A and B are shown apart, each in its own frame.
Chain A
């Protein structure tokens, strides 16, 4: 059981960003994608989660055998895919609790109501684990949140929605070391045999906290190198340039 990406090509407007990408993310594993700015990492996250600005021109993506590209973004989410945003959106006037409730409600069959008591119990437990103050339940989604609070809120949503596959897009950006530790703890708590996690990051630092099973290097819309966690350390030391030289050679 896995997400399988085969020869994926995607573009925005007339610009091709993903240029023949192959990747398999099995359940039970944590994979990291690293790469320089502009390599297409965030685009990959958006394409996988179904952002309408991006057009897939070739290739396939399946999730546990199901054709992901046939599904709308909301259907992909309900099928078990989660994207933790690099820049989470602010939604004035919609409380955090109501937002998460709406997301859970959308997963229930028509006519069935979410159990409010059970919901809050679970929400508070998840917030405690992420060291989030209870006041965040009543506050508008991400509005006036610090960078770290927004990222923590993404992981809270992930904890509540319990996806089968999660993509974390630059979750470490804008985090100080304490927030990084807490967020990583939250992600690590969700590591499981029944879940695949794809961590997209620019820096090796995050991978000290969320130790990946596999590391992939992305450049110019493709995976150009895969390895174990030591690859990340090597990248930290040598930068990205040696890889392109090698692949060119």
Chain B
């Protein structure tokens, strides 16, 4: 059986077979864009070990992207079941909820499009808000290694959220978007595009999940946050795919003057997860906080690449990535702070911390700085190590047994990052998910 699946996969691999565009589904501009993206994706080779952005990467996992096929439509029963499972935040805690199963919208609950607000599924936005969408759609090119996968995404994506929040509008409660991949070797290409006008505020949470823990799926997502002047975006990507799956997540933040963006990646699932996150600080007073928590176990791998690009003076960025690694899991972090000429008075910080909970876990960190301006405050640092005996002794001296101490320390290690989002309901939710994963490990 396995052999047949493999044989089928080879013939219809997403790296080999052109997407089946439906001429009636999308307008010409979109289809043409996807066709040319496909040609461009085809022309690029898969990443190789000698490519700097793929240093320490697991290239077997990269090559395995070719094993995935286009996702089949899900049946009604599966769709119903997935919608029923999509209950992360309470109804009172969110402003909207969209659920996609293999890129088909199966649940649609969102704020009314009043006052210039656009809150639409990507497929709908392509048709009804084409002009607005084109202005922003994939205008930030992938630069941290996944150019081919970004093009692949562009050639296939038809699901996800387009959110345009006009000047002055504040959506206080988060909008939740669930992206399910169903079927063995199925692939999804979820897209998230958030654009805020002047002084607007919004929070969005993406969940990437598998329909079944037994299936291997691929999620190849792109997220672009375009924060207008003085606006505020809070964004969370919560990845909890099956542990046989693969995740590629390419995200960018473009922060205008006085814009404040906080984005957080929570990595729980998938066998292999490659995230590439870029922040462009392009206006005076712009700030981007880049946060990440990963708790890989067994043979899971997280591969994280980041860029904090300060293009304008008086901009700030703060990156905090934490990985708590169990068993034989592995992490790679490569981050760069780049301060352009003239971007004086930049404040940029980059910290990657790895907590090694097992002797067999492996953490690789490659922090970097490139400063071409004066009067900047920049720091980067990474630490890797186990829980120390001194830490445990402090707990034991208070009567807390060593096992409980380890749990509290590990949980605290991740909680520190989640708290920085300053969104209590989401923080509580993500804490529960982290706790659930630790419980599974214990």
Spell out A's residues near B (CB within 8 Å): 49-53, 72-74, 77-78, 82-83, 85, 88-89, 91-94, 98-100, 102-103, 106-107, 140, 157, 161
B 384-415 binary contact with A (CB < 8 Å = 1; else 0): 00000111011111111110100011011111
B404 engages A106 (CB within 8 Å): yes
Other than A91-B412, A92-B416, give 10 A-B pairs with Cβ distance below 8 A.
A73-B393, A73-B396, A73-B397, A82-B397, A93-B416, A94-B409, A102-B398, A102-B408, A103-B400, A157-B398
A140: which B residues are within 8 A, CB to CB?
412, 416
Chain A: CB-nearest residue to B389: A52
12 contacts between A and B (CB under 8 A): A72-B396, A73-B397, A74-B399, A74-B400, A77-B398, A92-B412, A92-B416, A93-B414, A93-B419, A103-B398, A106-B398, A107-B399
**Cα distance, A106 to B408, chains bound together (Å):** 13
Please determine whether B404 and A91 come into contact, CB atoms closer than 8 angstroms: no
Bound state CA distance, A103 and B414, in angstroms?
21
A213 to chain B, nearest CB (A): 25
Tell me which of B393, B396, B412 contacts A94 (CB under 8 A): B412
B412 touches A93 (CB 8 A): yes
CA distance A103 to B390 in the complex (A): 17
Partner of B396, one of A77, A82, A157: A77
CA distance A102 to B396 in the complex (A): 11
Query: How many residues of B are in contact with the other chain, CB < 8 A?
Result: 23
CA distance A69 to B411 in the complex (A): 31
Minimum distance in angstroms from A232 CB to a CB of chain B: 27
Closest-CB distance, A84 to chain B (whole angstroms): 9
A72 to B399, CA, bound (A): 9
The 9 closest A-B pairs by CB, nearest first: A93-B412, A77-B399, A93-B416, A94-B412, A73-B396, A93-B415, A89-B394, A103-B398, A74-B396
Docked pose: A93 CA to B435 CA in angstroms: 14
B interface residues (Cβ-Cβ under 8 A, vs A): 389-391, 393-402, 404, 408-409, 411-416, 419
Task: State which of B391, B404, B415, B419 has its C-beta within 8 Å of the C-beta of A102.
Answer: B404
Given known A-B contacts A94-B409, A106-B404, A89 and B399 have beta carbons under 8 A apart: no
A85-B394 contact in complex given A53-B389, A78-B399, A93-B414, C-beta closer than 8 Å: yes
Q: Which residues of B contact A85 (CB under 8 A)?
A: 394, 397
A73 and B394 alpha carbons, distance in the complex (Å): 9
Q: Which residue of B lies closest to A91 (CB)?
A: B412
Q: A77 to B397, Cβ gap below 8 A? A: yes
Nearest-CB residue, chain B, relative to A73: B396
- List, in ascending order, chain B residues with CB within 8 A of A103's CB: 398-400
CB distance from A184 to the nearest CB of B (A): 22
Per the bound structure, the CA–CA distance linking A91 and B400 in Å amounts to: 14
Closest-CB distance, B324 to chain A (whole angstroms): 11
Q: With CB as the reference atom, state the residue of chain B lying closest to A79.
A: B399
Across the interface, A92 reaches (CB within 8 A) one of B398, B404, B413, namely B413
Question: With contacts A91-B412, A92-B416, A140-B412 known, is A99 near B390, CB below 8 A?
Answer: no
B404: chain A residues within 8 A (beta carbon): 102, 106
Residues of B within 8 A of A93 (CB): 411-416, 419
A157 to B399, CA, bound (A): 11
| Residues from chain A with Cβ under 8 Å of B414 in the complex | 93
Contacts of B395 in A (CB 8 A): 74, 102
- Which of B389, B401, B415, B416 is the one whose CB lies under 8 Å from A106? B401
Check A94–B408 contact: CB distance below 8 A: yes
Cβ contact within 8 Å between A91 and B391: yes
- The answer on a CB contact under 8 Å between A83 and B389 is no
Question: Distance in Å from the Cβ of B365 to the closest Cβ of chain A?
Answer: 18
Residues of B within 8 A of A106 (CB): 398-401, 404
- State the CA gap A72–B397 with chains docked (Å): 9
B413 engages A74 (CB within 8 Å): no
Closest chain B CB from A241 CB (angstroms):
33
**CA of A157 to CA of B394, assembled, Å:** 12
Q: Nearest CB to that of B353 among chain A residues?
A: A92
Closest Cβ–Cβ distance, residue A89 to chain B (whole Å):
4
Query: Nearest chain A CB to B373's CB is how many angstroms away?
Result: 29
A53 to B397, CA, bound (A): 14
Which residues of A are found within 8 Å of B398, using beta-carbon distances?
74, 77, 99-100, 102-103, 106, 157, 161
Do the beta carbons of B401 and A74 come within 8 Å of each other?
A: yes
Compute how far the CA of A94 lies from the CA of B408 in the bound complex, rounded to whole angstroms: 7
B393 contact from A51, A78, A161, Cβ within 8 A: A51
What separation, in Å, do the CA atoms of A76 and B354 have in the docked complex? 32
- B397 proximity list for chain A (CB < 8 A): 49-50, 73-74, 77, 82-83, 85
Per the bound structure, the CA–CA distance linking A89 and B398 in Å amounts to: 12
Q: A82 to B412, alpha carbons, bound, how many Å? A: 24
CB distance from B408 to the nearest CB of A (A): 5
B401 smallest CB distance to A (angstroms): 5
Min CB distance A143 to B, Å, is 9
B412 and A89 form a contact (CB under 8 A): no
Q: Which partner residue on chain B sits nearest A80 by CB separation?
A: B399
Which chain A residues border B394 with CB–CB below 8 Å?
Answer: 85, 88-89, 91
Chain A residues within 8 Å of B412, by CB: 91-94, 140
Q: B411: which A residues are within 8 A, CB to CB?
A: 93-94
Closest to A158 in B: B398
Complex Cα spacing A92 to B397, Å = 18
Alpha-carbon separation in the docked complex, A100 to B400 (Å): 10
Pick from B390, B408, B416: contact of A89, CB below 8 A.
Answer: B390
A139 CB to closest chain B CB (Å) equals: 11
Which residues of chain B are near A73, meaning CB under 8 Å?
A: 393, 396-397
Looking at the assembled complex, report how far the CB atom of A83 sits from the nearest CB atom of chain B, in whole angstroms: 5
How many angstroms between the C-alpha atoms of A92 and B351 in the bound complex? 14
* Alpha-carbon gap, A52 to B390, bound state (A): 9
Complex CA gap A82/B401 in Å reads 15
Closest chain B CB from A227 CB (angstroms): 30
Interface pair A161/B396, CB less than 8 Å apart? no
List, in ascending order, chain B residues with CB within 8 A of A99's CB. 398, 408
Kindly state the separation between the CA atoms of A78 and B397 in the bound complex, as whole angstroms.
9
CB distance from A46 to the nearest CB of B (A): 8
Query: For the complex, what is the distance from the CA of A140 to the CA of B415, rounded to whole Å?
Result: 10
- Complex-state Cα separation, A50 to B397, whole angstroms: 8
Closest residue of chain A to B407 (Cβ to Cβ) is A102
Which of B390, B393, B413 is packed against the most chain A CB atoms within 10 Å? Answer: B393
Closest residue to B418 on the A side, CB-wise? A93
